[in-house]
Amino acid sequence: MIGTGSLRRRFQLLAVRPDLIVKSLRGNIDTRLKKLVQKEYDGIMMAQAALLRHPKALGDCQLHQVSLTLDEFLPAVGQGVIAVEGVENSPAAKIAAAIDDKYVRQVITCERAFLAVFGVGCNVPLAAHAKKNGEKLELTAMLGNEKGQLFSITQVGSDPLTLGESSARRLQQLANY
């Protein structure tokens, strides 16, 4: 039995391993690790970023971590991106502008355009990951439907907004969403 608090992860895991039993897992990192150590679960799935920030190493719990690749599991929209905002024309806005990364801005704009079409949060199993592909952007995205089916696509385009929106609309068609 595998535990996760993410509907997105549940759908992706069952798509590759339909033989597994996936059970809801709630709580902070310590609570989740404790449940695993106490053998309430055979394994748990959670964000690697959370574990990296956690002060207690997995080795302290005598647990083994396996990192999944983007080819195996897509992240939530915007996963790993940090946004810095400041009041217009303020010193904070100038600092934010100075550290702005054009590449990150393009990929997050694309992913957020994808998400905006759905107008939802964490209650729908969807994911998207954009990256540069030469001079263009490549967006890989997935959507699960109420029947438990998982649909995924990869599209390439030049405009982040157009690519995100068109990818979302294509997935909606595929999944009859």
Mind listing the domains of the chain with CATH numbers? 2-61 (no CATH), 91-175 (3.30.160.40)
Q: What is the average pLDDT across 74-98? A: 88
pTM, full prediction = 0.83
Report how far Cα 96 is from the mean position of its chain's Cα atoms: 24
Q: How confident is the model at residue 61 (pLDDT cuts 50, 70, 90)?
A: low
Say if residue 123's pLDDT is above 80: no
Residue spans of beta strands (DSSP E) within the chain: 2-4, 22-24, 43-44, 126-133, 136-144, 150-157
Q: How far apart are CA 171 and CA 143, in angstroms?
A: 7
Average pLDDT, the chain: 88
Q: How large is the average pLDDT for residues 23-51?
A: 88
pLDDT number for residue 136? 96
41 pLDDT above the threshold of 70 = yes
Measure the CA angle with vertex 114, ends 111 and 117; round to 5°: 150
**Count of residues in the chain:** 177
